[in-house]
Amino acid sequence: MPHYTIAYTILYDVICHTILLYMPRDAHTDTRPKKVICSVMLRPMPDRGCCYNRTGNGQCFKTLHYVRAAFICLIFYFWCMCYNIVYLEKRAQEYHDRYKAVLPETFKMDYAVELPMYYHVSGFVHPVLPIVKHDGIFPYQWGLIPPWVKDMGQAKDMAKLTLNAVGETVFEKPSFRNAIKQQRCLLGVEGFYESRDCNKAKYPYLIKSKVDEIFSLGCIYEEWTDRSTGEVVKTFAIVTTPANPLMEKIHNLKKRMPLIIPRELEGEWIKPELTKEHVKELIKPYNENKMEAYTVSKMVNNAKNYRNVPEALERVEYGELD
């Protein structure tokens, strides 16, 4: 996940979304252009740049076909899915303590290193976030790059399509079928955002857990090596499932939700030795009775806004909603 808390300019936003929207459905990932909704709580880290304003061969886009882009934007509106996460002020020690039960005793975390803080972060900026693996907690970039990708240009394009991995096909898609076997991890969040479509308008919701302040999204990870430079890029994707009844009401067009791993099963999910059948049993909608949701400001729906602010978490009532 390129990174963090730098506000986009209008031109940058147009370029980013236009390039993303021109991407066709990918046979490897089973994904289409989507909207990322999930917010993770960490402290801001330096920006490492984003390549959305470049083509696969590194050449800048010089012309934008606005008419075509507008048409594709309509498609984007109806295809949007969960990709924005809530990460509030959780220092390294707090995050480590939350997952201490599933980490090896030999793992030592550097508490002097502060985690980035997010009230709202979009997967399309590819932030680097702390994932929990069977052997420790490590920073990985959101947007999985499979090991068979040839070069950095292809890797950047691929990362735009692999923010999420559809749970029903994760064992089949070339982009994910290697990682799902043994390379599963957790991403601890305090909530995620999703929008409800009602009367041709979109109403954003913040969805949280009733039982855990920090709850775990089920993810998969990969490490890709750039053959031209030797650089190792560590990336992950969030697995998704069909929506439970609560999320069906909110994400009422596509009816999807991120895979949430119950606390008592977190250690199971990250075990490399799990069988395919066992993993499939864990990929299912989370219990709606353990979740809560409320509407928030519509400013979180607009990528032109600087959304990493405390106001992104505040409840906003809309009288037109039932």
Please report, as a single letter, which amino acid is at residue 291. Answer: M
Bridge partner residues of 142 (DSSP) = 236
* pLDDT at site 85: 67
- Looking at residue 84, its pLDDT comes to 73
- 277 in a domain, yes or no? yes
Distance of alpha carbon 234 from alpha carbon 222, whole angstroms: 6
Q: 57: domain range?
A: 10-313
pLDDT score of 78: 32
If you ran DSSP here, which 8-state letter would residue 312 be given?
G
Longest dimension (CA), the chain: 57
Q: What is the pLDDT of residues 78-137, one digit of tens each?
A: 333 456 766 544 468 889 999 999 999 999 887 767 777 889 999 999 999 999 999 999
Task: Please tell me the distance from the alpha carbon of residue 304 to that of residue 308, in angstroms, as a whole number.
Answer: 12
Torsion angles phi and psi, residue 17, rounded to 5: -70, -35
3-state DSSP call for residue 184?
A: strand
Share of the chain above pLDDT 90, in %: 65
Q: What is the mean pLDDT of the chain?
A: 79
Question: How many folded domains does the chain comprise?
Answer: 1
Q: Flag residues of the chain having pLDDT under 70.
A: 1-83, 85-91, 112, 322
Give the Cα separation of 209 and 216 in Å (integer): 10
129: Cβ contacts below 8 Å, ≥ 6 apart: 1, 40, 42, 85, 87, 116, 139, 140, 141, 142, 187, 236
Let me know if residue 290 belongs to a domain: yes
- Say if 319 falls within a structural domain: no
Q: Is residue 3 part of a domain?
A: no
Domain contains 249:
yes
Decide if 276 is inside a domain.
yes
- What whole-number distance in Å separates Cα of residue 290 and Cα of residue 263? 12
Express as a percent the part of the chain with pLDDT over 70. 71
Residue 188: give its domain's CATH number: 3.90.1680.10
Spatial contact of 101 and 55, defined as CB atoms under 8 Å apart: no
What is the β-pairing status of strands 38-41 and 84-87?
parallel
Residues 255 and 199 sit within 8 Å (Cβ to Cβ): no
Residue 2 is assigned to a structural domain of this protein: no
Residue 86: the pLDDT is: 62
For the chain, report the end-to-end CA distance as a whole number of angstroms: 36
- Burial of 67 (C-beta count, 10 Å sphere; 0-12/13-18/19+): exposed
Q: Decide if 272 is inside a domain.
A: yes
